[in-house]
Amino acid sequence: MTLAEYLDATEYAARRLLDAIWHEQAEIESLSARVATLERRVKAEYATAQHIIDDAETPDDVMLGVARHWDNYFGADRERHDQQQELNRLIETRAARNLALGSLAGSLLQIAKQGLSLSLGRPATWPDGRAVGGQSLSSVVRGARNQAMHWDDGGLRQADTIAAMVQLERDFGAPFADYNTSNLAMPVITLLGWRTYDDYVADMRRFT
């Protein structure tokens, strides 16, 4: 089987995996932007209300400032609070599902690595692909797949896997130092920029 044939055969699975991996992240990013906008509105409105109170020369001026304060409290600030609560819940949900997300990301790396093995043979015969820091894409795919599958076995043992992860740490820092204690498939996919199927398959086609 050629790599092109393999990519065609596994397209559906890879697409579904990428959709699942990035769905929650997209929701968090969208909600974070809305909360940040609300926070700026609330802060500006409270500052305006306080300015009115501080500079008040008559009781009517004070009441105007107080009214602005409470209008803000029951309006934009209440909305901001509700959005922040929703954001917190979503972040907590994502944290609780980190292991599942790591498994999904590891599955995508497994699909990629299996395609290279089936179509190109032993890793020593694989083309490099593009550069990822100081090593090749093929080294990252092989090393990250192995790390995702074996990180919880009591420490990595394969020299090429360890070398790949050490190089990632050297080039990109945290979180790649945690290769013996965490599944790093998700950070690797993020680093590679595999957010869509087109991103993923463009890299894989570099090996054909």
What is the band of 111 on the pLDDT scale with cuts at 50, 70, 90? very high
Task: Tell how far CA 175 is from the center of its chain.
Answer: 12
Higher pLDDT, residue 81 or 52: 81
Buried residues in 42-58 as b, exposed as e (16+ CB within 10 A): beebbeebeebbeeeee
Reported in sequence order, the residue ranges of 40-147 that DSSP labels E, i.e. its strands, are 131-132, 135-136
Q: Per-residue confidence at 84, pLDDT binned at 50, 70, 90? A: confident
What is the predicted pLDDT for the residue at 188?
97
3-class DSSP state of 136: strand
Question: What's the CA gap between 206 and 208, in Å, rounded?
Answer: 6
pLDDT of residue 92: 75
Q: What is the pLDDT of residues 160-207, one digit of tens each?
A: 999 999 999 999 998 899 999 999 999 999 999 999 999 999 999 999
